[in-house]
Structure 1
Amino acid sequence: MGHLLDRTLFCLTTFLATITTFQYVQPVAAQQYLLGLGIGDITGPVVETNIMTDTGLHMRQRTRAFLIAEADNPSNRVLFLNLDTAMGDSGIHRGILAALQKQFPGVYSESNVAVVGTHQHSGVGGYLENLLPQLTILGFVNQTYQAIVTGSVNAVTKAHADLAAGTISVGNAIGSLLSIIGKTVLNANINRSPSAYLANPAAETAHYQFDQDKDMTLLRFNDVSGNARGFLSFFTVHGTSLYNNNTLISGDNKGMAAYLAEVAAEPNSMPGATSFVAGFSQSNVGDTSPNTVGAFCESPGQPWDGQACDFNSSTCGGTNEDCHGRGPGFRVSDFESNLIIGQTQAQGAQGILNGQLTPVVGSVRSVHQFINMPSYVFTLANGSTVLTCPPAMGFSFAAGTTDGPGAFDFIQSDNSSTPQYDLNTYFKSKF
């Protein structure tokens, strides 16, 4: 079994428990697949949508589609959509699927389509169907929703029409079920909650060189001559290079990385109109931050101004509002930091793309399953049966992070309550 696991590379991208699996055996000759790639513009109204941002445009949001089908049986296919959005909302997923099923009956469904957001924090708001983000956006914005669905379907239409024979290779990967090791990309992320990480058992942290994942894994899509048509990379870093006071629509650092890679491949093409498609997908994002200089107090007139925030609570003078992470270009602007973090990811991807690659072979399969998480019954190792419970947010959630601190004196790691939170909880319980 161990030998079998060592021969299997699982590129796991999850959206509502969607899992796409690729297999490879090393060394082998490249296997031909049918591959299609496409880009679609999903930028909605750039003003008067409150949040995420609302006064203008820094760079357009796009969906990048990656389609893989078996050469001998094209009905066996998987479609991966990488959206420049904060997350892959279930309503967006349903809207895209409804349009695809109308345009391509019987081809695309929940079982073979993954919709994933890059997790940028500077996109057009109003498309999420859950209550909390609708409260902050002051309601649903149909223009935003339609732009994302329509642009994503356009990307798929291009990928579908672009379907042609080719091969896939995985960059510098030594894979198993337990680890996927790609090219290490340094200086693109840090752990924004290092004290929390240190609370892990020493036996656990001893397994890792860093307190944050620094590996990038990349799938290269080739034509029959071996020329790169594009790639899909996986690297973990929050889309928070642009600060939470930014008011310009942007794809943040992953959108910037994709722009830089695509323009470098086809310098004479307009952005978003390249045939080369560069996907920078999110990975195990957790507490990764692109603000790699660290968190410092911005408290003019206070003795702690300019000092590092409190290590354990991310506070300045006892409150968290003035504690902000700084990106590598903070002395110029957060847009400079965004460019640097985007460049770092693009350069890492380029290094893998031009490095030693392992051919991907095997069948194309996908698995999708819905699970009712608030009431999931399962058995523990000791034989007892347990049940999951509905989700809840602790009051430290309102403290935010060093990438975007909260308000009202909520503090990270605090486990005590406040009158404001108790009042908020009371009113929420009535609805």
Structure 2
Amino acid sequence: MAVSLPMPFQFLLSLLLLLTRAVLSSSEYLIGVGSYDITGPAADVNMMGYANSEQIASGVHFRLRARAFIVAEPQGNRVAFVNLDACMASQIVTIKVLERLKARYGDLYTEKNVAISGIHTHAGPGGYLQYVTYIVTSLGFVRQSFDVLVDGIEQAIMQAHQSLRPGSVSVNKGDLLDAGVNRSPSSYLNNPAAERSKYKYNVDKEMTLLKFVDSKLGPIGSFNWFATHGTSMSRTNSLISGDNKGAAARFMEDWFQSGQKIPRRVSTIVSDLRQNHSRLLDIAASYKSSRGQSLDAKVRVRKASFVSAFCQSNCGDVSPNVLGTFCIDTGLPCDFNHSTCNGKNELCYGRGPGYPDEFESTRIIGERQFKMAVGLFNKATEKLQGKIAEWWKSDTENVINEALKSGLAPNVSDAHMINGHSGPVNNCPSQGYKLSVTNGKTYLLRLVNAALNEELFFKVAGHLFTVVEVDAVYVKPFKTDTILIAPGQTTNVLLTTSKSAGKYLVTASPFMDSPIAVDNVTATATVHYSGTLSSSPTTLTLPPPQNATTIANNFTNSLRSLNSKKYPALVPTTIDHHLFFTVGLGLNPCPTCKAGNGSRVVASINNVTFTMPKTALLPAHYFNISGVFTTDFPKNPPHVFNYSGGSVTNMATETGTRLYKLPYNATVQLVLQDTGVIAPENHPIHLHGFNFFEVGRGLGNFNAKKDPSNFNLVDPVERNTIGVPSGGWVVIRFRADNPDNFTFPTASNCRRQVSEVVTSV
């Protein structure tokens, strides 16, 4: 079991570490906290988490909040982190919040320095996410759920911004043993014994806490990360609740505001859970109010002098139901290997420490996290500092082979590298790659993304790049401070050394705007000007957040061919073959694999997964060897559905070595459409032996009637590797003037696999 930090923690801690290194004479930052109500509709709305269409809210267990924390460097760099009493954050919520923050503060808070995370409670209102899969059970988008989240996050950040004062941040960590158990112990036992022997427990038991101390007022807040699911309240619960983490946060805030005495009850939830259990159940069964109404501002704003957040960590297999799982019909333990009762998983329920009282279980697990946090809080004296980076500690081919064997995604890498150096990493003495430069010169940087899975952002602090070439083809020069480069792509940029002296941080960090696990720690290097003392401070830069879609789109949309007399853009305008390829993932049978129900995750194009032949395709074609391949690859998807947002019941793909034949010199338009069959994600795709023109791209489903009117047929970028956007499409055009078999290998975060082959004869 590889223990890793969750994305919001990695992002925020990385930014704080960068800020720490920038402060030379003092450990103080400017710190601020804020808290705002985000309860939303408390009746007649489906709850988010269990995907149970019958789980409709009928009242409130306790109210939900957005808790914001801002850490700012006196010179200007800052980061805002918001923890939500919600199942998860939402890209569309984040986009709307950033729009409001921009209108209010300009570029002070952007996608570069704002992180929003949810505690994963399964008892909050649903319907606020943009993906269709997540809003099926809520019967579509719920405006009330969405609006209250956006309002609450904005107001919490405003409070934190207005309360910024000099202060410090300290860190502490320790093991909490009785607030989470592995809910898939049989799966864990499938890990090699040598791997399991590396860890003391079969889940992550560590809590990491940050303590915020105002220089004059004393402690003003804290937040911590600990892995346990927000499922103390079961799928039959109908009361809005922050579950165990929301309860823990209320405990912590009450504890501090009441003179740091351990509270005996959840005073801000109900007067006494055990005494009021029957009353709450009666409310849950009988409450039939209209849709929720907005609260008066005086009720919603709580000017808390102390704000505490209990953030979610890597909770995938961690359950708060520490007594185990039992069948609700027989009372016997569930089947160990499959978590079923007579083959039915809906009869298998977890039991918390307060069983059969879910409210009591919520209180107990919340209290255990709270008490652990208090202990860490009281002893948190180590000022925040540290190092960042990551890489794989094994041969990448072994990583791929293990993924193919297991049927699951490859292990997330241990580090990103810049010219073979990660920068400082735990158990690694590397100080990072150093590029020595002289003032007043222009350097050509040839950038290649040699990563297996991830698109990467590349930045140099205090400098702009001039992009001049991609994939060995000139482009119209343009300036940018951030480069986006997909696996297999190349980008040449000019770097002008305009500084007199100094050291400047270089960062390489991943871009992934879908819920896919990636290696989210930043690789670092430095640009050293000649004559700079080794003791000189490094000028820092903040890497874009992992889901910085706007930054990625701005770079991609800026790429244009030269289209000059010397370098014309020979874009095909008359098309002989119109092809439409869907690109995505599926599940195929594999009795020995671990992807669930004896299946493996596979890549596919037009629902066909490529089978590697034993005879090379070019000799088979040239010598007319039969039985190696067929020429029946579909030119269009065999099944039409809502590619970017719909769900399908059958995730299986066809397999084969299937080709699509093109006459020599034929002109081709190819639509590449991402699908969300398992999850939407970006797909870097390479066309062997050819360049092509990217004439259009967009989000959602490609519309053959409307989208071509927006094609760029004048100066589209020309390249040989393209990234199909997550939940979107890209259209390329080319001329099949290289008589050969040429392949479309796709790289995805679940699989690196050659998916299909096209032949030109």
TM range (shorter): 0.7 to 0.9
Residue matched to 1:359: 383
Q: Are 2:245 and 1:254 aligned? A: yes
SS of equivalent residue, structure 2 residue 125: coil
Per-residue deviation at 1:115? 0.8
Residues 264 and 68 of structure 1, relative CA distance in 2, 3 Å threshold: same
> Hey, what's the Cα distance between the residues in 2 that align with 1:394 and 1:112?
40
Residue matched to 2:130: 129
Q: 1:41 aligns with which of 24, 28, 37?
A: 37
Is 2:70–2:81's contact at 8 Å kept on the other side of the alignment?
yes
Letter in 2 for 1:200: N
Residue matched to 1:318: 343
> Hey, what's the Cα distance between the residues in 2 that align with 1:18 and 1:393?
35
Residues 298 and 156 of structure 1, relative CA distance in 2, 3 Å threshold: same
Number of aligned residue pairs: give it: 366
> Hey, what's the Cα distance between the residues in 2 that align with 1:395 and 1:202?
26
Query: What's the % identity of the aligned pairs?
Result: 40
Residues 250 and 45 of structure 1, relative CA distance in 2, 3 Å threshold: same
Residues 102 and 316 of structure 1, relative CA distance in 2, 3 Å threshold: same
Is 2:182–2:318's contact at 8 Å kept on the other side of the alignment?
yes
> Hey, what's the Cα distance between the residues in 1 that align with 2:589 and 2:64?
33
Q: 1:277 aligns with which of 276, 299, 307?
A: 307
For residues 72-98 of structure 1, what are the alpha-carbon distances to aligned partners after superposition, in whole Å with 9 as ceiling and x for unaligned?
Answer: x1x200000101111111011101111
For residues 210-246 of structure 1, what are the alpha-carbon distances to aligned partners after superposition, in whole Å with 9 as ceiling and x for unaligned?
Answer: 1010000001000114821111101011100000000
> Hey, what's the Cα distance between the residues in 2 that align with 1:394 and 1:59?
44
Residue matched to 2:73: 70
SS of equivalent residue, structure 1 residue 14: helix
SS of equivalent residue, structure 2 residue 364: helix
Per-residue deviation at 1:15? 9.1
Residue matched to 2:98: 97
For residues 157-192 of structure 1, what are the alpha-carbon distances to aligned partners after superposition, in whole Å with 9 as ceiling and x for unaligned?
Answer: 100000000011101xxxxxxxxxx21011100000
Per-residue deviation at 1:266? 1.0
Long gaps (5+) in structure 2: 49-55, 260-266, 270-301, 387-539, 550-582, 601-646, 652-675, 678-700, 702-761
Is 2:588–2:599's contact at 8 Å kept on the other side of the alignment?
no
> Hey, what's the Cα distance between the residues in 1 that align with 2:57 and 2:250?
22
> For 1:197-346, what aligned pairs fall within 5 Å after superposition?
197-225=188-216, 227-267=218-258, 272-299=302-329, 305-331=330-356, 333-346=357-370
> Hey, what's the Cα distance between the residues in 2 that align with 1:121 and 1:394?
30
Residues 12 and 286 of structure 1, relative CA distance in 2, 3 Å threshold: closer
Residue matched to 1:112: 113
SS of equivalent residue, structure 2 residue 94: helix
Residue matched to 1:177: none
> Hey, what's the Cα distance between the residues in 1 that align with 2:104 and 2:126?
27
TM-score with structure 2 length normalisation? 0.45
Residue matched to 2:147: 146
Residue matched to 2:598: 415
> Hey, what's the Cα distance between the residues in 2 that align with 1:242 and 1:84?
14
Between 157-166 and 94-103, report the one with greater CA deviation. 94-103
Residue matched to 1:375: none
Higher share in helix: 1
> Hey, what's the Cα distance between the residues in 1 that align with 2:589 and 2:238?
27
SS of equivalent residue, structure 1 residue 425: coil
> Hey, what's the Cα distance between the residues in 1 that align with 2:201 and 2:122?
25
Residues 371 and 38 of structure 1, relative CA distance in 2, 3 Å threshold: closer
SS of equivalent residue, structure 2 residue 544: strand
Q: 1:14 aligns with which of 5, 8, 11?
A: 8
Higher share in strand: 2
Is 2:71–2:79's contact at 8 Å kept on the other side of the alignment?
yes
Which structure has more relative contact order (CA 8 Å, sep 6+)? It is 1
> Hey, what's the Cα distance between the residues in 2 that align with 1:290 and 1:222?
31
> Hey, what's the Cα distance between the residues in 1 that align with 2:111 and 2:151?
18
Between 288-297 and 50-59, report the one with greater CA deviation. 50-59
For residues 15-65 of structure 1, what are the alpha-carbon distances to aligned partners after superposition, in whole Å with 9 as ceiling and x for unaligned?
Answer: 99787433379xx99700000100011111111112334111111111100
Between 312-321 and 248-257, report the one with greater CA deviation. 312-321
Letter in 2 for 1:39: S
For residues 259-284 of structure 1, what are the alpha-carbon distances to aligned partners after superposition, in whole Å with 9 as ceiling and x for unaligned?
Answer: 11001111399784422010111111
Is 1:11–1:22's contact at 8 Å kept on the other side of the alignment?
no
> Hey, what's the Cα distance between the residues in 2 that align with 1:220 and 1:395?
49
Is 1:30–1:361's contact at 8 Å kept on the other side of the alignment?
no
> Hey, what's the Cα distance between the residues in 2 that align with 1:61 and 1:155?
13
Is 1:78–1:366's contact at 8 Å kept on the other side of the alignment?
no
Is 1:55–1:247's contact at 8 Å kept on the other side of the alignment?
yes
Is 2:127–2:140's contact at 8 Å kept on the other side of the alignment?
yes
> Hey, what's the Cα distance between the residues in 1 that align with 2:198 and 2:67?
35
> Hey, what's the Cα distance between the residues in 2 that align with 1:55 and 1:163?
39
Per-residue deviation at 1:144? 1.0
Letter in 1 for 2:312: Q
> Hey, what's the Cα distance between the residues in 2 that align with 1:18 and 1:188?
25
Letter in 2 for 1:349: A
Per-residue deviation at 1:365? 3.9
Is 1:12–1:21's contact at 8 Å kept on the other side of the alignment?
no
Residues 317 and 249 of structure 1, relative CA distance in 2, 3 Å threshold: same
Residues 29 and 356 of structure 1, relative CA distance in 2, 3 Å threshold: farther
Residues 371 and 359 of structure 1, relative CA distance in 2, 3 Å threshold: closer
Is 1:77–1:365's contact at 8 Å kept on the other side of the alignment?
no
> Hey, what's the Cα distance between the residues in 2 that align with 1:367 and 1:68?
17
> Hey, what's the Cα distance between the residues in 1 that align with 2:176 and 2:585?
34
Residue matched to 2:28: 32
Residue matched to 2:166: 165
Letter in 2 for 1:147: V
Is 2:5–2:314's contact at 8 Å kept on the other side of the alignment?
no
> Hey, what's the Cα distance between the residues in 2 that align with 1:16 and 1:186?
23
Residues 149 and 213 of structure 1, relative CA distance in 2, 3 Å threshold: same
TM-score with structure 1 length normalisation? 0.78
